[in-house]
Amino acid sequence: MLKQTLKEWLDEGKERFGDDFTQWKFKCPACGHVNTGKEFKDLGIDLNSMYNECVGRHTGKGSPRKDDSSGCDWAAYGLFGTLGKGRIVLNEGKESEVFDFAE
């Protein structure tokens, strides 16, 4: 998995989506849902959750189901991380696993 410093990760995100975090997008590794900052903002969810929690955790969804990308209860800080599909961000000596950016 790609490992980046917090700065490298933020720089890449800004390059992809711009400075407005509501435009940022991350893909849930379990169900394939694309979390968007706008979606999280509209639902009143902390934008800091969009890269490590599938929106389904906040909308009452359960385990990821095949052919359903409407959301699930996946979290990048859970036991199985991002299933090898995410990234690792290094910040102040601590590594955090996060969802990958979505196109």
Q: Which stretch binds Zn ion (CB under 5 A): 11-19, 48-56, 75-83, 91-99?
A: 48-56
Q: Is 98 in the site for Zn ion (CB under 5 A)?
A: no
Nearest to 43 by CA among 20, 60, 31, 30: 60
Q: Which of 12-20, 25-33, 35-43, 77-85 is the region at the interface with Zn ion (rule: CB under 5 A)?
A: 25-33
| Spatial CA neighbour of 17 closest among 1, 36, 45, 40 | 36
**Radius of gyration over every alpha carbon of the chain, rounded to an integer in angstroms:** 13
- Which residues in the 64-83 window bind Zn ion by CB under 5 A? 72, 74
Binding site for Zn ion (CB under 5 A): 28, 30-31, 33, 54, 72, 74
